[in-house]
A and B are shown apart, each in its own frame.
Chain A
Amino acid sequence: MNGPFPEAQRGLLASIGHLLTVDSVRVYRRPKIVHDAIWGTCEYDPWEAGLLDLPLLQRIRGLKQTGFAYLTYPAAEHSRFQHVLGVTHAASRVFDSLRRRRDADGVSPRAKQNKGALSEILDDRLASRNRVLLRLAGLVHDLGHSFLSHSSERIFGLIPPFPDLIGEVLRQHDKKPGAAEVVVYLLVTSSEWRDVVGRIWERCSGPGTPPTEDEWARIGRWVMGIEPEGPKKFLCDIVSGPVDADKLDYVARDAYFAGIPIAQDVDRFLSTVCIDRQTNPETTKEWWRLTLPLQKGINALEQLVMSKLVLYSYLYHHQKVRAAELTFERNLAREYLTQGRILGIEGVWDLFHVQDAHLYAVTGGRPGHNRAADVAYRVLPRRVVEFREQDVTLEEPDRARSIQEYRRLSSLSRPKSWDQYHQLLTYEDSLARQANLPDSSVIVDFPADPDYGDLESLVLPGRSPHEQATAKEHLSYGDWIQAYNKHRVYNRVFYFGDEKSLERLWTVLAEDFGARKLRLPERLQMWR
């Protein structure tokens, strides 16, 4: 990719180059066995074990997978490192299952009509190469994260050159990747990365030659969910798609480490997942997609969606998790807008050699002078009020105007640019000042619609070549999600302050909402 990519790549490599040293990489002759909490005994090939020794991969041991969730669920301290091991294992399990069942139900009836296209991918010699690439994609897919994972990604994704990089991918591929995925692409398409992998490959007796420049570019695209070759699209789907190895791992892992019981029958999923051939009506191009069959795969899909819904309800939307994430994000945004840096880090590329522990370093072990970093010490705001749309909008004849104002407020609190962050922080500070509180004491939170990962794009093939349905047509998950949105997604106002300031803030909020044709009924006060 051209445009802003070459310069960004130079910037990234200049900042993380010191983590690409092979000095600490041991020589592996045999596969390495790892016991994982989710997948049990997992095997990693010698060159994979060598890669895992790289300081760049060891770094992600220090990035918590679920950000600040551990402040609420103490055991949720699992790392990105554990997750990439799981995804690597899961990716090859999916691939192996498809290969093993390629003459049976691993390939849908209409995909079987053009089996030749798949032989280039699933036949013995090429299959082993594709399996190697898939597992490497699993190993590298999260190397673009910085401290506290998605909490910082929402901020650094707005710092130049990320908007330009994402815009370039959008222009070229009609796909909007996450900022962390773009970092992975920049890394794995660099000559420095290829050189390091080549040396590890040699040391650890990798099969054949290490991945070529083209193969690394393909891995980088897979991580962003892009595969221009129709027959290979299902490989990309295994890495990043509606039912990918990433989801298989993190749904089970996040629930397990948070201590939230969920039912996810991975064996059933692996025995039903299949390749389907789908035709884009606009371009008439054929795409081989990873999906689940209509009749046999519904249960596995249902479990996956339900598990994610439970995770939103218990974990991702938990009020203390939101309080921690938003305190962190708002204060990172404030620091960037006023000082052009985040947590003291000036250059955006320097974010990719730090770990979560950077927060403790910023506080110097003495919380009290940096609100973003203090979150690590669980210095969190309290709820003033929590509400849903139906709780605060007015009835007729003011209903239309009231909903319009509600929407303006919710849009304001879901910033997508620095201008919008500036407007939001100004609004929150104005509330704080009116309540005689210092700036950055008030946070207004309207969570966005939960992300279930492109499930609506999933097409489920039937028993005959012409039978198919979207997931939505055959699953009631749409009902669950919409009901969850309507009744369980709460907006909140948080504040830092004492009991006295709470009284003042309540009055200020009631006035502000009143001016917006919204109401704050007494019953909505949580902790007054």
Chain B
Amino acid sequence: MNHQEQQRGATERRGRTLRGVVFVIALLAFGALHISAAEPARAFLEEHCFDCHDAETKKGGLDLTTLKFDLAEPATFAAWAKVHELIASGEMPPKKKPRPEPAAKEEILASLAASLDGAVDARRKVDGRTVLRRLNRAEYQNTLRNLLGIEVDVKESLPEDSSASGFDNVGAALQLSPVLMERYLEAADTALDAAIVTGPRPETRRKRYPFIDSVPKYYRNAVLFDEEKQAAVWFRSDYSPTILSQFKAPVPGRYRFRISAFGVQTGGQPMTLSVEAGFFGAGLGGGISRIAGFHEVPVDEPQVIEIVERLDARGDTIRLKPVGTTHVGVWADKVKNYKGPGLGVQWVEVEGPLVESWPPEGHRRLLGDVDVSRGTFADAEKILRRFVPLALRRPMDDAGLQPYLALVRAELDQGRPFEQALRAGLKAALCAPQFLYLKESPGRLDDFAVASRLSYFLWSSMPDEELFDLARQGKLRQPAALRAQVERMLKDPRAAAFTENFVGQWLSLRLLTFTSPDMQLYPEFDEFLQWSMLRETHLFFEELLRNDLSALNFVDSDFTMLNGRLAAHYGIDGVQGVEFRKVSLKPEQQRGGVLTHASVLKVTANGTASSPVLRGVWVLDHILGKPANPPPPNVPAVEPDIRGATTIREQLAKHRQVEGCASCHRKIDPPGFALENYDPIGGWRGHYRVLGAKEPLTKVVFGKRVTYGEGPAVDASNTLPDGRAFTTLRDFKQLLLEDEDQLARALARKLVTYATGHGLEYRDRTAVELIVVKCREQQYGLRSLIHAVVQSELFLNK
């Protein structure tokens, strides 16, 4: 879909909007009128359903003749909700059976809907829609950091959270266990250790290290020494023990690194290098490190790169590696005569730990001018009076504060030193349920609950002073204030957490590193490419968000965000360098929309081969919003065969001959096959790659020689269950775009789930429909969609 097509006639849009509104109003009216509706018309069920769904046949395990109409019982409710859904969608009665009269169908749907909604409303009056929600570990860590002004890493010490409805901030899935409680006690200690400093200001040092001194002895014959530039020069990019071993962080903290580096024999091109930070074991592969960034330096002219990086542990340092150079060892005599590209590094200068003020900002904010070596109860009271309400995210009267004060007093009375006694009070606040859970009361949320919903939605952290201020004034829930706050919050750097956590889960990007491709079949894959994949999708999302571009761009767009590495991967000319930029796409480049992002194509691939089944299931759930049923038990999975003997199409065709499989695979396989022209690392393919071919093909991708055999040709054509056929992904995307509302609806549902920490239920369809209508009025703009979600009754009610 390109943008011109999106700009359809205003008249048509008005018509559609009107239809939508009428539909919504009709739904709302039914809900209001039929609160105590009776059992659905038995006549309809007898005529259209009992044939298959009686005690005898019990098709699909459903016997409607005995299914009670007790909607307070969750399982029964779910069964009737499913009945409504299947009749409404026209899936039931099945195509082969006689069609019900439209009027009769309308009638049973309306009466069923009214009863179902009535039952839900009754329950929600008491419980609200959402379930009490614990902070997940990312939120917990961000909250501690913002609350105390510290940079601790406690996330890894907490057990991984489970998720529900696709997100790990959904209350129903966030359990609490004794182990977690123990870890909270420990994490509170860690956080307070970081927040309350007692020692002298750590000394900031600056030192320049000639890089050649850091090259280990055993690797010296793979490294040239450039006398003129006094620089170490090396060529190999995958294995590279080029750690700045002369430097080890004396304490955790932020350090400034200045690296003087240049490219060698690059044919005039700049050289890319990677900087990793962390702890490196001796030699290959060991340690715990992360990529701190990729940078470019010009050929032959040393240039200084400056970065500031937090090192989490004592002993941490950095490693430098050339990117996109040879993977073959260049040793001894070969080094001198080697003509390929390499990296030269003169020196690295380290300054740190960088201490902005002492005691640090967090310490002063927490303690004011109280000296912890000789505080009094009155000092503790002053500290807790400010801290506890902030931690619990609500104003608090004296009675509310009392338990914390009593605890500190009891500790002091027992002769504990002031700091210990104060810490007991602070620790209690950090382990209190009001801190660990988001407290919301049934009905319309109060201002403070809205402040927390907003901040955990857009920042994955606690509200800031401005949100609290508005809440205290009782102004936050006004539509204009909400709007202004969302605008402000999205511009704040903390909003990076929204991209990372929402997109990371919506598009499964968190799984990007879960599999690594077959290095024989896909030798062009490297860390830089993987890093770039993630950036493309994050930046694409942020581009739509910033400029309120249509959410339909997720399905098809005439631009994407690229750097040189990714452009080379996609076969798009004219883009160089590490930096990302917006690039216009031509149809023949076969890109546009997240379905063509290498990140998405990689996470939907099955380990080392791509699987139309996995991809199909993924598209149905994440993009189309019509998730497939899970596979029935005892069905063997389709085993990929990379020897090239049979194609996945042949295997799946066999699978679909089985009647039990066909009903779901008719829906699953087509969107999967539509992506078949993209390999497991997101490259375009006309033929499958195979190993062991007699006449392998060779090409060079981003400096790397890639050799593989050409297998059978790819066939991406298929037919949707409703009979619409397509031959390529481009056609398939156009078919998806025929139902723009459904695409917006699918995304709106994901956003509401994430924003409210609760999956969507049947009852929520009207509220979602209102969001879709509002979003459509703004040409499906992504930022408008966020606003519509925040202003919706789903967001503003428990």
A associates with B: no
- Interface residue ranges, B against A (CB under 8 Å): none
